[in-house]
């Protein structure tokens, strides 16, 4: 028996669907608080010294946190080629805005301290705000459009054609999910600053973070209600072949019914939205009470639950098509080959523990609060 056949094609597809979720959630849990701190910067820090305190809580770790974003993009490219082709071409303008905002952030980190001028530093502070708020908003808008279905189709020779526009992405439901995503990551940034920033910065972060926690909870509940009563889901109209060819036109799919029917078919997935709701409530209460470590963990729980809810609700769909449901991408018909998934899994098993171990070591070394006195007296601080 060939080695890669030790694991069924169906199982490998599910494993890589799970790994994609792990990478995207890992990105939200780590780089998410970086973006949240950037979005909070104009509100929690009023003086240059206070802004330096906030920035230095994420300055040493933000680059390492980007690893999850790169791994997520790489996983989409290698494990789900049709998804990469459709999303990165159809969402081109949205992707461009995200990348432009993310490029602003490292430039701002590096150049902010090069001059002492007030206008100079304020300009880069606003760049950090844009680099945090814009990606958080657009990622959520993308999720909202995925749940509604994206206007693309495949020709008979499997050429993807996207027939939508950038402004078509800015529909009411997608804007709701975008604002929910922004509030969720601001909540996470507030929890991080509550833990890492000393003095008035941490105090303000607890206030604004608690508002964001309430906003993310409200947005999550409204989006769930919208899914229940105002948004059609997608379903197979014929038995799905879980180990068939990777051909998006292979399955019969129709639009109709509700996404929430998944909870009747697989009741256990209700744990995801419950965790999202409980996590947001605990984060709100923790920020109000001034708790730190437990509040950050609660924020992570909320993010895990909210993002997991989307994936588990849609499974096995990855990217539905609103204009040609038959072209919808699912776990069963849009993956790479059996051998490719197996080789990538072996590499992941080897390197993922190293990434996790290194990340844990970095956070252990950098444990502790950033204080105004430390920032003021440390001439080597570059942020």
Residue 371, pLDDT score: 82
Residue 244, pLDDT score: 80
Residue 379, pLDDT score: 60
Residue 97, pLDDT score: 92
Residue 382, pLDDT score: 62
| 334 HSE (CA, 13 A, CB side) | 28
Residue 148, pLDDT score: 93
What does the pLDDT look like over 226-254, one tens digit per residue? 999 888 899 888 887 788 888 888 888 88
Residue 180, pLDDT score: 97
**Cα–Cα dist 102/97, whole Å:** 9
- Which stretches of the chain score pLDDT less than 70? 1-5, 379-382
Give me 286's structure tokens: 């923790």
Residue 381, pLDDT score: 58
Query: Which residues lie across from 236 on neighbouring strands?
Result: 253
Can you tell me whether residue 160 is helix, strand or coil? Answer: strand
Residue 270, pLDDT score: 95
Nearest Cα to 307, choosing from 15, 14, 27, 13?
27
**Cα–Cα dist 235/257, whole Å:** 8
In the chain, how long is the greatest CA-to-CA distance?
68
Nearest Cα to 192, choosing from 299, 281, 279, 289?
299
Exposure b/e, 100-109, CB count within 10 A at least 16 = b = ebbebbeebb
Give me 183's structure tokens: 């509030």
């Amino acid at each position: 028996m060939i080695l890669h056949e030790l694991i069924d094609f169906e199982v490998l597809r599910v494993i890589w669907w799970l790994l994609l979720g792990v990478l995207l959630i890992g990105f939200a849990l780590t780089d998410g608080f970086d973006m949240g701190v950037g979005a909070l910067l104009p509100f929690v820090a009023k003086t240059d010294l206070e802004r330096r305190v906030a920035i230095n809580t994420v300055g040493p770790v933000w680059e390492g946190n980007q690893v999850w974003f790169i791994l997520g993009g790489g996983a989409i490219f290698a494990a789900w080629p049709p998804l990469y082709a459709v999303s990165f071409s159809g969402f081109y303008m949205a992707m461009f805005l995200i990348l432009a905002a993310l490029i602003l952030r490292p430039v701002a980190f590096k150049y902010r301290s090069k001059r002492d001028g007030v206008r100079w530093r304020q300009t880069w502070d606003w760049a950090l705000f844009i680099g945090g708020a814009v990606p958080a908003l657009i990622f959520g808008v993308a999720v909202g459009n995925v749940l509604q279905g994206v206007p693309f189709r495949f020709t008979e020779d499997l050429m993807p054609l996207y027939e939508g526009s950038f402004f078509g992405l800015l529909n009411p439901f997608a804007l709701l999910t975008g604002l929910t995503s922004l509030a969720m990551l601001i909540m996470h940034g507030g929890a991080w600053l509550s833990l890492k920033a000393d003095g008035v910065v941490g105090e303000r972060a607890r206030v604004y973070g608690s508002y964001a926690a309430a906003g993310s909870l409200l947005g999550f509940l409204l989006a769930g209600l919208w899914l229940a009563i105002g948004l059609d889901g997608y379903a197979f109209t014929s038995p799905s072949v879980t180990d068939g060819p990777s051909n998006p036109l292979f399955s019969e799919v129709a639009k109709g019914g509700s996404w929430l029917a998944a909870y009747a078919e697989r009741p256990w997935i209700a744990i995801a939205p419950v965790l999202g709701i409980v996590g947001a409530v605990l984060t709100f209460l923790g920020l109000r009470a001034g708790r730190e470590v437990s509040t950050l963990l609660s924020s992570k729980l909320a993010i895990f639950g909210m993002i997991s809810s989307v994936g588990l609700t849609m499974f096995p769909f990855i990217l539905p098509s609103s204009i040609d449901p038959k072209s919808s991408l699912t776990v069963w018909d849009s993956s790479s080959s059996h051998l490719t998934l197996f080789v990538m899994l072996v590499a992941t098993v080897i390197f993922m523990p190293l990434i996790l171990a290194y990340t844990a070591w970095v956070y252990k070394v950098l444990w502790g609060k950033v204080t105004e006195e430390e920032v003021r007296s440390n001439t080597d601080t570059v942020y």
